[in-house]
Amino acid sequence: MFIPQKIFGILGYPLGHSLSPLLHNFGFQTLNYPGAYFRFEKQKAELNAFMQSLRQLPISGLSVTIPHKEAVIPFLDKITPEAKQAGAVNTIYWEDTQLCGDNTDIIGFSLPLEKMIIKHTDKSESYDSKLLLKDYSSLILGAGGAARAAIIGLKKMGCNDIQITARRKEQAEELATEFNIKTIAWEKRAELPTNILVNSTPLGLKGERESLSPLPDFTINPIKENKLNNLFIAYDLIYSPAETVFLKTAKAQNRLTLNGLPMFIEQGLAQFKRWTGHDLDYNQVLNIIKKAL
């Protein structure tokens, strides 16, 4: 009989849509690990009391999502370099008596993109991932928390030509200054030659925004010429629905497309490894999540 002895969970608000409990509880049961994963749905006004009590509660680890990824940092004893660079924490864990924060969204963003580029170019598995994107340009649509992970991931893969745009010009300019990248006007977003186009906005998300796209007049986005090839990838960080309007349009124009499901799984697998020291099988988790979706 499976008896949980360690408590994990996700902290955020709202949490009704989250698939993290499915991923982690599947992992615990598959490996017969004595853990159970719950939802801790807390609004901003409740965060202080929850974080203060965390040191007295028998909680071994937490996923952190909107709107608390930045707000939890002052309550932690230390954070990893990745979390510090991102200015956000999505994973809380214990290191002896210290409460620590990490950010696995960066590796979650990077790994699926790296795999796709290797698959569709002449690069081999032995290619230096830090140089993978040195000949490519990228444009990020949106300037929220997900955009931060995208910027850092692209930089770690060697992309030096990164531009960002958002409906709120000042928000894009703030991120551009922080990370030393460029901005373009939101109205010019469909005109910029690029190789990797990332949607980090909620436009297209299942629900009231599902019929929307960050590029409603998306014709054929110009491709930046480079000495390797004319690779173009439309990368939507949304995973529900699996194919947004943004991706459907790109696919209709024979562009490579990537949705946010691999990112969600990869960041979750990195969390699971951080907490338990164990790896989960990616394809098994993918099948479970797809069935739920």
Number of domains in the chain: 2
Q: Which pLDDT tens digit goes with each residue over 38-65?
A: 999 999 999 999 999 998 888 999 999 9
What the block records as the tokens of 111 is: 């790994």
Is 143 part of any domain? yes
pTM confidence score? 0.91
> DSSP secondary-structure letter at 223?
P
* Annotated catalytic residue within 42, 69, 155, 156: 69
User: Are residues 275 and 175 part of one domain?
Assistant: no
Is 1 part of any domain? no
Q: Is 90 part of any known ligand binding site?
A: yes
Rounded CA-CA distance 136/125 in Å is 18
CATH of residue 11: 3.40.50.10860
User: Are residues 25 and 77 part of one domain?
Assistant: yes
User: Are residues 175 and 30 part of one domain?
Assistant: no
What the block records as the tokens of 135 is: 């000949």
Q: Is 145 part of any known ligand binding site?
A: yes
Q: Which pLDDT tens digit goes with each residue over 200-214?
A: 999 998 888 899 999
User: Are residues 115 and 251 part of one domain?
Assistant: yes
DSSP per residue, 31-95: TT-SEEEEEEE--HHHHHHHHHHTTTS-EEEEEE-TT-TTTTGGGSSEE-HHHHHHT--SEEEEE
User: Are residues 239 and 272 part of one domain?
Assistant: no
Average of pLDDT values for 118-133?
Answer: 75
Average of pLDDT values for 252-281?
Answer: 95
Catalytic residue status for 69:
yes
Between the alpha carbon of residue 23 and those of residues 1, 30, 261, 291, the distances in Å are 20, 11, 12, 12
User: Are residues 237 and 274 part of one domain?
Assistant: no
92: domain range? 6-103+263-292
